[in-house]
């Protein structure tokens, strides 16, 4: 994943060069730019686990890009291609992602070089718990210092195992649940965390499409209804983003690209039906709701209104950038466009909604889970019934004054429970709207900023720099 060619930057190079472009437009105090850019620390560990009667050595990393705010935050991915360069790039993105959406964390990321499909559940549990112990021993796991979350190849199950390992080592830590986010609800997880990144993509697109002039800048008009969407990656993020856009916003999913090929249907693909087929068969081939094409990567070039890369980094490069035919690229994945390809997108007038904004839903809801764990109280517990009573009282007053009945659909909205899921979605929606307005202000307010990515970096860097200059010990 982090390999490069003569004509293409590595993922880490791309992040750093995009960062440099933004800092070049800012008046930062001397030396702050180097501090902001540098990765604070990287821990590389090799550890043995007994598998089928023999010891196997596993390689893992945890990078901390910034500790300007604590704890540092970021997911842990399991993949055969994981390496230190990739983890450092992801940790850097996390720093600026958290700053952009006003989540009070530093940036971190972890990875284990492993193909999870090659191990049984019991073996994965042993490997994961050993990895967690290794991280904890070096200060890379704990509710006040470093808080992992799920990423590619991991989920609630792995987070539960890591949380169990930490609690075993710290049985007297009352805040132990906050050492990990993305946990099952029974272990202190939060409603809405699984859907969070995909839901954030939807809310980010809502924020963009709420401004007709921004939509016009992409050569489009109107809302999301009827917009042709090409999706790459039907994992957790891609599935939820596309499902919400299709079922709630009326977008038309015209192609879905996966590892084994792509499904194309200009009349629209049912994401739920395709996902069920994928879970049953292991791929998209054989799905009867569209035409199968074995060369999935080529489908990135299919004409559409919105292209959503929701898989891996480095998918749009110098090799295919000139052939992309989307009006908007919505980066649901981290780093799907290389630095060089990003320059081509700007030249061609293709509007990119950047990763450090659009996929910030996961870390935002992780923040909600972390605060829930520290408060030891689920959201809505204190005021849920009070809000319900207030809504019913309002309805009674209106009906008494007017002598009529409140329409059932309006009554349903008024009495909607302020439960945890609704509160999480509300908080995420507000976060994405607020962040977009801050980005937009820089994008449209400065003559030297011509794209949303640079604007987003400027907003984030400004916030990080303020912490270094205003709250530094020295």
End of a domain among 349, 382, 411?
Answer: 349
Query: What is residue 159's predicted lDDT score, i.e. its pLDDT?
Result: 98
pLDDT digits (tens, 9 = 90+) for 270-283: 999 999 999 999 99
DSSP 44: E
Radius of gyration of the chain (CA): 23
Distance CA 294, CA 262 (A): 6
Distance CA 226, CA 450 (A): 28
Q: What band does 418 get if pLDDT is binned at 50, 70 and 90?
A: low
Catalytic residue check, 109: yes
Residues 225, 183 share a domain:
no
The tokens 């990895």 sit on which residue? 131
Q: What band does 1 get if pLDDT is binned at 50, 70 and 90?
A: very low
Residues 334, 251 share a domain:
yes
Retrieve residue 298's tokens: 């080529």
Checking DSSP bridges between strand 304-309 and strand 228-232, what pairing results, if any?
parallel
Tell me, rounded to whole angstroms, the distance of Cα 368 from its chain centroid.
14
End of a domain among 310, 331, 349?
Answer: 349
Q: In total, how many domains does the chain have? A: 2
- Residue pair 323/343 in contact by the 8 Å Cβ criterion: no
Between 384 and 207, where is the model more confident? 207
Query: What is residue 186's predicted lDDT score, i.e. its pLDDT?
Result: 93
The domain that holds 299 is classified in CATH as 3.40.50.720
Tell me, rounded to whole angstroms, the distance of Cα 411 from its chain centroid.
34
Query: What is residue 7's predicted lDDT score, i.e. its pLDDT?
Result: 53
The tokens 């009529």 sit on which residue? 404
Report pTM. Answer: 0.91
Residues 320, 228 share a domain:
yes
Residue 367 lies in a domain: no
Options 37, 73, 97, 109, the catalytic residue = 109
Residues 328, 264 share a domain:
yes
């Amino acid at each position: 994943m982090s390999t490069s060619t003569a004509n293409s930057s590595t993922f880490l190079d791309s992040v750093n060069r995009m960062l440099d472009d933004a800092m070049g437009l800012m008046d930062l105090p001397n030396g702050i730019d180097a501090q902001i850019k540098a990765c604070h620390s990287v821990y590389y560990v090799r550890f043995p686990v007994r598998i089928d009667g023999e010891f196997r050595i596993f390689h893992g990393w945890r990078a901390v890009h910034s500790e300007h705010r604590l704890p540092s935050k970021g997911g842990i991915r399991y993949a055969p291609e994981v390496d230190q360069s990739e983890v450092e790039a992801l940790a850097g993105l996390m720093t600026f992602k958290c700053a952009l959406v006003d989540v009070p964390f530093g940036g971190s990321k972890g990875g284990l070089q492993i193909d999870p499909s090659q191990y049984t559940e019991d073996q994965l549990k042993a490997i994961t718990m050993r990895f967690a112990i290794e991280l904890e021993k070096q200060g890379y796991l704990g509710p006040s210092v470093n808080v992992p979350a799920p990423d590619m190849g991991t989920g609630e199950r792995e987070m539960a195992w890591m949380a169990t390992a930490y609690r075993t080592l710290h049985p007297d830590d009352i805040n132990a649940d906050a050492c990990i986010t993305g946990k099952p609800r029974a272990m202190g997880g939060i409603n809405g965390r699984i859907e969070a990144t995909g839901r954030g993509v939807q809310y980010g697109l809502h924020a963009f499409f709420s401004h007709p002039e921004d939509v016009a800048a992409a050569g489009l008009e109107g809302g999301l209804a009827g917009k042709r969407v090409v999706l790459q990656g039907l994992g957790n993020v891609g599935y939820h983003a596309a499902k919400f856009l299709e079922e709630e916003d009326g977008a038309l999913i015209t192609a879905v690209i996966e590892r084994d090929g792509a499904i194309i249907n200009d009349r629209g693909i049912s994401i739920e039906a395709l996902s069920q087929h994928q879970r049953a068969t292991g791929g998209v081939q054989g799905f009867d709701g569209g035409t199968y094409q074995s060369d999935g990567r080529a489908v990135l070039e299919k004409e559409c209104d919105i292209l959503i890369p929701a898989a891996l980094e480095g998918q749009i490069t110098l090799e295919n950038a000139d052939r992309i035919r989307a009006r908007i690229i919505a980066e649901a994945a981290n780093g799907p466009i290389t630095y060089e390809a990003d320059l081509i997108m700007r030249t061609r007038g293709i509007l990119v909604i950047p990763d450090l904004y659009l996929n910030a839903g996961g870390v935002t809801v992780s923040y909600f889970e972390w605060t829930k764990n520290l408060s030891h109280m689920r959201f809505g517990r204190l005021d849920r019934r009070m809000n319900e009573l207030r809504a019913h009282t309002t309805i009674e007053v209106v009906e008494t004054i007017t002598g009529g009945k409140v329409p059932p659909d309006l009554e349903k909205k008024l009495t909607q429970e302020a439960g945890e899921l609704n509160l999480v979605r509300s908080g995420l929606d507000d976060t994405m709207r607020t962040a977009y307005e801050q980005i937009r202000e820089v994008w449209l307010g400065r003559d030297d900023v011509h794209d949303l990515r640079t604007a987003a970096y400027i907003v984030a860097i400004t916030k990080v720099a303020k912490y270094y200059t205003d709250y530094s010990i020295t």
